[in-house]
Structures are given as C-alpha cells and as structure tokens.
Amino acid sequence: MMDRCENCGDEYERLLSEEDDRSSAAEDQRNERTLHHRQPRPVDTGRRVAYGFGHVFNDITAAIWFSYTMVFMQNVVGIPSTTAGFLLFFGYAGQTVDAIATPFVGIMVDKFGKKKNWVLLGTVMEAISFPLIYYVWNLSIFVTTLIYICAILTFQIAWALVQISHLSLIPELTDLSLERGKLTSIRYVFTVSTNILMFIIAWLVFRGVRNNGNMGSLIGPNNSEKFQMLALIATTIGVFSAFIFHGLLKSPRNTNKKLMYRQNRQINFDKILQFCKNVHLYQVAIVFTTCKLLINIALIYIPLFINESAINESGTIASIPLVAYISSLITSIGVEYVKPYFKSDKTIFTIGSVISIFGSLLVFFNPNNELTYHYLCLAAVCFGSGSAITSVLSLSVTANLIGNDTDCGASIYSSVTFSDKLINGLVIIGIEFMKCTDLEKCSHYYRDVLAFSSGSLALIGLLVFLTIPKILIKATKSSSSHIVI
C-alpha cells in the first residue's frame, strides 16, 4: 500500500510538471507572437553613438596589433621573422587561438545572453593583457616567451568576447534591416575614427627617428619605450570608451524575462544546424574573410614594406596607414549618400573591389625611390576607400542573413568570423615562412606580398559577392529569417 501511495505521489508530481510545461509553452507562444507582431522602431541617434563606443577598445588594439606587432617582435625584441609569425598567428597563440575561441564564445553568449556583460568581461581581460605584449622583459628566454604566450592568449580570447558580443547586439537593437545597416555603418565609422586617432598618436610617438641611410634599420631595440607608450595610451582610450558604452547604451528589447530565461536554458542547435546547411552562410563567410584579410594584410605589411624601401623617416609607418583610414572614414560616410543612386549594392561592392585592386597595382609598380612615398600614399587611399565600401556591405549582409533569428545571432557571427581569423593566421604564417633570409635576393618581398595578396583578395571577394541572392544584399523592410528549411 505504501509503495502504491508513493507511486501515486510520483505520478501526481509528473502530471503537475507536464501541466506546468504546457502552460509555460502556451505563455511563451503568446509572448513570441507579441514580440513578432510588434511595430519595429528605429534606433535613436544617442543609442547608435553609444553602440559605436562599445568596440573602440578592440579597434584601437587591432590597429596596433596588425600594424606594429611584427615590427616590434622582429626589430625591437629580436625574434626571427618565422618565429614571430608562428607565435602571433599560429602555434601557441594569436589568430588561431582567437579563431578557436570564437565559436565557443558565440555559443556562450547565446546561451547566457546579457551581451553587454560579456563585452565588459572582455574589456577587463584586454586592459590587463594588451600592455604586457609590448613590454621588453629583461628575463630569461623561457620566462619571457611564457609571458608573451600568456598575454597573447588572454588578449585574443578577450578580443573575441568583445567582438562577438558587440556584433550580436545589432539584430537585437532593431528588427529593421535599414537600421541594422546604419548600426553597421556607425560601427565602421567608429572603427575608422579610432584608427585615425591611433595613427596620429603613433605618428607623434615615432616621428623624428631616421635610419641614417641603412635600409631595413628604421625601427630597432632603442624604440622599445615608444611601443610601450603606444600600448598604454591605447588601453587608456579603450577603457574610457567602454565606460561610455556601458553607461549610455540601455539593454536592447524589453523582452519578457521569463521567456528570456526559458530560451537561454537551451541553445537552439537545430536552427544553428539549419544555418550551417545553408550555402549562403559560406558565401557570406568568404566575402567577410576576404574583406577583413585585405585590410589586415595592408596594415601588417605596409610598415614592413616601408622598412625595406627607400623611405628613411620612421614617422611614415604611422602617416601612411593614417592616410588609409582618413580616406576610409570619408568613404564610409559618403557611401550612404550615393547608395540611392545605385539600383543594387552589388554595383557599389564592385566599385570598392576595383579601387582596392588599383591600389595593389600602385604598390607593385612603385619606383622604389623618392617617389615611393607618394605611390604608397595613393595606394593607401585606394585600400582605405575600397575596404570601407566592401567591409560595411559584408557586415550588412551578415545581419540580413540572421534576420529575426537573434537567439542564435552570436553563433552565426562567430561562425563567419571563425574563418576570417583562422585563414588570417594561416596566410601570415605562410608568408613569413616563405620569406628568404638573404635580403639581396628578396629585397622587394613585402612589396610583392602586399601587391599580390590585396589584389587577389579583392577579386575573390567580388566574385563571391556577385553570387549572393538579392534578398540578402538590400532590404528596406523588417528582416525575416533567410535560412533554408
């Protein structure tokens, strides 16, 4: 009898649990219908500006990372080029770690939500680790290497946390595709403005140092304090911008808390799987990767090309990237005004790609004399303008791909950026391993790398972008899901 009573109690609890689940499911459906049918509202200017500040720390550290880390490791610390490339972009740390961390970051952000908190965590980790990368440690080789590995590991994971969390806020802030495009544009304007500020600071820090006629010796161990100062200034600006972001940007969407809790208990892997089966995801990933890799190649190898060229003033390693970003800022603002005159964004993307290809030709055919500086300035204008057009459009296409499926938005962004970071690492390590040690035999190595890589990437990105369906390229109404079920 006692056993039967206990069984009855268990059965009663089971029935109550099922009833509660049914009631909760019905409530969730009502809440979801309410959210789905609500009138989409545009994002006000204050929230757009506040959103732009959220990625400033990443932007300013990325500018230094891609432009000066290889120069710092090779010419200041004295690490061989192949080892520097292996350390930064493959092996123990660098881009590979960032690429591996990105999908896990996306899953964690989607599962636990509160994307602003993830941005905050990444900011704290970045502030601690980034200055350590640009300090010359007077310790044993083993201890010094271990410090660099730990600092770079922490920095790359933190960078991924901020990037994915910040990107995945776009679909949550608004349902309107046009507004998402504006958020993407403001994000890019902040990126460019931040880089302009950083390269002005870098120019002030590095100007006045000359190579005294010795090619390849523009930057050396005596410049270590300049790199340390640059890293500390970048960290200060980044932390201040993060405070503005967290103070001014209110949490997006007043979604029912119980619904949010129930959604965050379990990740929608079925929906993510549907995205993974969709060929459009891989098209978008290729376009995004080529756009990012093009500008990264330019940032990394323009300073190294300057160091091997006839240019003899160290301030040029900041002034030429500065020219690229000023042109990028002007273009990113102007492109919004010329868009209405074109029927399709494919035409605009084509123009941006052609401009980048022209820049690669200028690099290759530079005369390597006193005119080299002017050729590089014009090439920098082309790289900046071309990448501004293609980068903004590639991010807009990614946001349109996600549509209203914001519950897995971070996972989709992490999938797209995973290929970008992994291929970045493989390309850079390959370039450094192929470099010969005899400078007389490959005196124009970095010129050729800069010219052929940027031109090829612009062409590949253009060909793939032309195959993307129109529904993902331009939409003015509220975005819906674009996955193929």
Please tell me the predicted confidence (pLDDT) of residue 233: 94
Task: State the average pLDDT over residues 473-478.
Answer: 51
Task: Judge residue 337's burial from the number of C-beta atoms within 10 Å of its C-beta, 0-12 exposed, 13-18 middle, 19 or more buried.
Answer: exposed
What's the Cα-to-Cα distance from 255 to each of 28, 32, 36, 412, rounded to whole Å? 11, 9, 11, 21
Task: Classify residue 396: in a domain, yes or no.
Answer: yes
Based on the domain organization, do 178 and 320 belong to the same domain?
Answer: no
Task: Classify residue 313: in a domain, yes or no.
Answer: yes
Based on the domain organization, do 230 and 358 belong to the same domain?
Answer: no
- Determine phi and psi for 116, rounding to 5 degrees: -65, -35
Task: Judge residue 117's burial from the number of C-beta atoms within 10 Å of its C-beta, 0-12 exposed, 13-18 middle, 19 or more buried.
Answer: middle
What's the Cα-to-Cα distance from 336 to each of 52, 145, 190, 330, 383, rounded to whole Å? 17, 46, 15, 11, 19
Please tell me the predicted confidence (pLDDT) of residue 388: 87
Per-residue pLDDT tens digits for 113-161: 677 888 889 999 999 999 998 988 877 767 777 888 888 888 888 888 8
Which residue did the predictor score with more confidence, 411 or 61?
61
Q: Which of 58-62, 208-212, 219-223, 389-393 has the highest mean pLDDT?
A: 58-62
Domain holding 307, by residue range, is: 270-479
Please tell me the predicted confidence (pLDDT) of residue 478: 42
Task: Classify residue 13: in a domain, yes or no.
Answer: no
Q: What is the CATH number of the domain that holds 229?
A: 1.20.1250.20
Whether 442 has a pLDDT exceeding 50, the answer reads yes
Residue appearing with tokens 């962004």: 413
Name the 3-class secondary structure at 483. Answer: coil
Please tell me the predicted confidence (pLDDT) of residue 462: 94
DSSP string, 375-408: HHHHHHHHHHHHHHHHHHHHHHHHHHHHTT-GGG
Based on the domain organization, do 289 and 379 belong to the same domain?
Answer: yes
* % of the chain residues with pLDDT over 70: 71
Please tell me the predicted confidence (pLDDT) of residue 89: 57
Task: Classify residue 170: in a domain, yes or no.
Answer: yes
Calpha distance 117→122 (Å, rounded): 9
476 pLDDT band, cuts 50/70/90, is very low
Least confident window among 135-144, 278-287, 467-476: 467-476
Q: What share of the chain is helix, strand, coil (3-state, %, to 5)?
A: 80, 0, 20
Based on the domain organization, do 227 and 316 belong to the same domain?
Answer: no
As a dihedral over the C-alpha atoms of residue 41, residue 45, residue 50, residue 51, rounded to 10 degrees, the angle is 50
Alpha-carbon torsion (282, 284, 287, 291), positive or negative: negative
Whether 466 has a pLDDT exceeding 70, the answer reads yes
Number of domains in the chain: 2
Locate the DSSP E strands across 82-204: none
8 pLDDT band, cuts 50/70/90, is low
DSSP string, 298-334: HHHHHHHHHHHSS--BTTHHHHHHHHHHHHHHHHHHH
Q: Which H or E run contains 194?
A: helix 177-206
Task: Classify residue 154: in a domain, yes or no.
Answer: yes
Based on the domain organization, do 135 and 167 belong to the same domain?
Answer: yes
Based on the domain organization, do 196 and 101 belong to the same domain?
Answer: yes
Task: Classify residue 17: in a domain, yes or no.
Answer: no
480 pLDDT band, cuts 50/70/90, is very low
Please tell me the predicted confidence (pLDDT) of residue 244: 92
Q: Name the region of 113 (left: φ>0; alpha: ψ -120 to 50; beta: rest).
A: left
Based on the domain organization, do 282 and 235 belong to the same domain?
Answer: no
Based on the domain organization, do 191 and 95 belong to the same domain?
Answer: yes
Please tell me the predicted confidence (pLDDT) of residue 260: 44
As a whole number of Å, the CA-based R_g of the chain is 24
Based on the domain organization, do 137 and 191 belong to the same domain?
Answer: yes
Whether 357 has a pLDDT exceeding 80, the answer reads yes
Based on the domain organization, do 340 and 456 belong to the same domain?
Answer: yes
Name the 3-class secondary structure at 114. Answer: coil
Please tell me the predicted confidence (pLDDT) of residue 77: 77
Per the DSSP assignment, residues forming a β-bridge with 210 are 313
Based on the domain organization, do 282 and 245 belong to the same domain?
Answer: no
Task: Classify residue 260: in a domain, yes or no.
Answer: no
Least confident window among 7-11, 60-64, 353-357: 7-11
Please tell me the predicted confidence (pLDDT) of residue 82: 62
**Residue 45: count of CB within 10 angstroms of its CB:** 10
Per-residue pLDDT tens digits for 66-111: 778 877 877 787 776 666 666 665 444 455 565 566 666 666 766 6
Please tell me the predicted confidence (pLDDT) of residue 124: 94
Task: Classify residue 103: in a domain, yes or no.
Answer: yes
Based on the domain organization, do 305 and 244 belong to the same domain?
Answer: no
Task: State the average pLDDT over residues 172-200.
Answer: 80
273 pLDDT band, cuts 50/70/90, is confident
Please tell me the predicted confidence (pLDDT) of residue 292: 83
Least confident window among 378-387, 426-435, 448-457: 426-435
